[in-house]
Amino acid sequence: MTLPRLAPALADALQARGYSQLTPVQEAVVAADTGRDLLVSAQTGSGKTVGFGLAIAPTILADEGRFGPAESPAALVIAPTRELALQVKRELGWLYETTGARFASCVGGMDIRDECRALERGAHIVVGTPGRLKDHLLRGTLDLSAVRAVVLDEADEMLDLGFREDLEFILGAAPEGRRTLMFSATVPKAIEKLAQEFQKDALRLQVAASGSQHADISYQAMQVAMADADHAIVNLLRYHEAQNAIIFCNTRAAVARLTTRLSNRAFQVVALSGELSQQERSHALQAMRDGRARVCVATDVAARGIDLPNLELVIHADLPTNGETLLHRSGRTGRAGRKGISALIVGKNARRKAESLLRFAKVNADWVDPPSADAVRARDEERLIADPVWLEEVSEREAALAARLLNGQNARRIAAAFVRLYMSQRSAPEELQGTQPREPGSFGPSRWFALSVGRNANAEPRWVLPMLCRTAGLGRTDVGAIRVQEQETFVEIAEEAVKPMLKRLGAARELEGGVTIQPLANPPFAPERPAAAADKPAEAPARKAKYQKGDRPRPTTRPGDEAALAELLKDEPAAAPERKPKRPFDGKRGPAAAEADGKAKSWKKPRRSGMKPKSTKPSGKPSGKHPDKRR
């Protein structure tokens, strides 16, 4: 391997790491003028960490390619998150291993006293997060007077997280003659403005991917019913059986809920969110790296910039907020030439949003159905038949045990028992409802419900439908006819959405503003029967203009509806027990105390001081003045 313009120590480190050639971004920064500032934009997973490690080497290394005594830091690397900062420290550690470099990390969530001691002992390269670095500068424990190179990794993310003031403070404390290198996946206007302010004659390097955006990542979008979202995730994990997989959620609560559910399904899963301590987050990542866990459920901020080995599958349980986040999430896989899959779980009413995200991110996704239970079972059978264990040599002990089994059972029973044992070690796949669109004009199986609001409260369909979607978890396609009456409203709801709706609302069945929804045993209106030509009257009778107030259409009788309703509600959680009445007042005052003493008498609230007593006229009638009016 030919690595021009590299220090021998760094070239040896790359060869020992198995580098046969540099990535495009690494070649670009190595070929650039070593004395200029750099503004580099390249896609996630393109080797930027090693790239800026190579870029700053001519600036901070001595002529002989080794560091001298560790006094003040020669280089400062700033990263947006703790995980990314520690990852950068590890990457630079093996790259500069033979140069005598000493490192120090300054990240939030770690013991600041240990960091102060490490800085006091001396470090050539300091890696940290903006907030903690600023804290050390204010304490006087970090001296940047000798810094010759400053690197901003994932600069766009640091601005998105609100670190602009901290960055300005840190860069203002560094010498003016330093080199400033900014690395980012994208270069928005905010990054350009920051570069103009803190860089001098910066060389702009925009490294395009060798193919399309994330060419090694296969994007898949799967539209599922709301009740099938978690089931689709389970089937995805089971279908691919990825060595490492990461699931992104938008909130900490969603991370906790999904982690618990997958753990109950026997998945080896860890969580990664901002509410965890740094030690817990480090243990979670280490469990993924050493194979004790295979699935990580994380939020965007917690997983920013992490690099998990052999990460083959990324699942977006919640759609990202923008296209850049989609790219950063997906960039956790398909790194360094490895293939990966990025799967978006799309709700029934979120297809337009998903298409917009994909269009903004400039990636093409295949719209596919999530793996069904049958597809997962078929994939398990393929893996079982293709397992390399069949090609391994049989030991004497194994052969003896196999002979004993064959003496007691026939081969078919032994094979069936092996299949059952193999399948029992894996979580069972989920049956999905499916999201096939209904035929136009045909709503399909449904049930009727009554809402406790009608025309007397200005109810109308364009108000009822959004309320049902917000509070009952329904989609627009789950709601059929809406019939507003004087005092109540009848709503037709698809049968497949009834149970999830009742489970979400609970026994109270309350929507918004005290509006309740109750199931009906029978449809509220009789179906219209087309009359034969001979039965048609000469003139149709005059139709009633409107139902009178309080007049409700008589439900039609349909055999078996009451039994079906009871079956539907049998799993519904029981209503909250009725609250007991408050205990009588047993103090020194009040009617309860008087009755206990056998001196029952009427209780009157004491008049407040300063209140004018009620006066009467000579006739005994009230004077008209308010009895509680002050003088």
Distance CA 387, CA 426 (A): 15
Class of domain 217-375: alpha beta
Q: Residue 556: its pLDDT value, please? A: 39
Given a contact cutoff of 8 angstroms between Cβ atoms, the answer to whether 459 and 451 are in contact is yes
Q: What are phi and psi of 479, to 5 degrees?
A: -110, 125
Residue 376 has pLDDT above 90, yes or no: yes
For the chain, the domains span 8-206, 217-375, 442-525
Which pLDDT band holds residue 536 (cuts at 50, 70, 90)?
A: very low
pTM attached to this predicted model: 0.57
Length of the chain equals 631
Other C-beta atoms lying within 10 Å of the C-beta of residue 73:
27
**Secondary structure letter of residue 477 according to DSSP:** G
Greatest mean pLDDT among 12-26, 132-146, 200-214, 565-579? 132-146
CB atoms near residue 606 (< 10 Å): 7
Nearest Cα neighbor of 553 from 622, 490, 477 is 490
Per-residue pLDDT reduced to its tens digit, 187-236 = 778 888 888 888 888 888 887 654 445 668 899 999 998 888 999 999 99
Give CA–CA dist 477/480, Å, rounded: 7
Same fold, 8-206 and 442-525: no
In degrees and rounded to multiples of 5, residue 409 shows phi and psi of: -135, 160
Task: Compute the distance between CA of residue 423 and CA of residue 412 in angstroms, rounded to an integer.
Answer: 17
Residue ranges in 140-176 assigned as alpha helix (H): 155-160, 164-173
For residue 284, give the nearest of 332, 325, 244 by alpha carbon.
244
**Is-contact 116 315, C-beta < 8 A?**
no
Radius of gyration of the chain (CA): 35
Q: Which superfamily, per CATH, for 442-525?
A: RRM (RNA recognition motif) domain (3.30.70.330)
Interval 267-295 mean pLDDT? 88
The predicted pLDDT at position 127 comes to 95
Among candidate residues 295, 203, 173, 320, the one with its CA nearest the CA of residue 243: 295
Question: Residues 44, 114: contact at Cβ < 8 Å?
Answer: no
Give strand ranges (E) for 53-211.
Answer: 75-78, 103-106, 125-128, 149-153, 179-184, 203-206
CATH topology of domain 8-206: Rossmann fold (3.40.50)
The H-or-E segment that residue 343 falls in is: strand 340-346
Query: Per-residue pLDDT tens for 558-588?
Result: 344 556 666 666 655 555 555 555 555 454 5
Residue type, 459: A
pLDDT of residue 455: 87
For residues 84-107, average pLDDT = 91
| C-alpha distances in Å from residue 194, one per residue of 133, 160, 164, 197, 526 | 18, 13, 9, 5, 70
Cα(194)–Cα(133) distance, rounded to whole angstroms? 18
3-state secondary structure of 618: coil
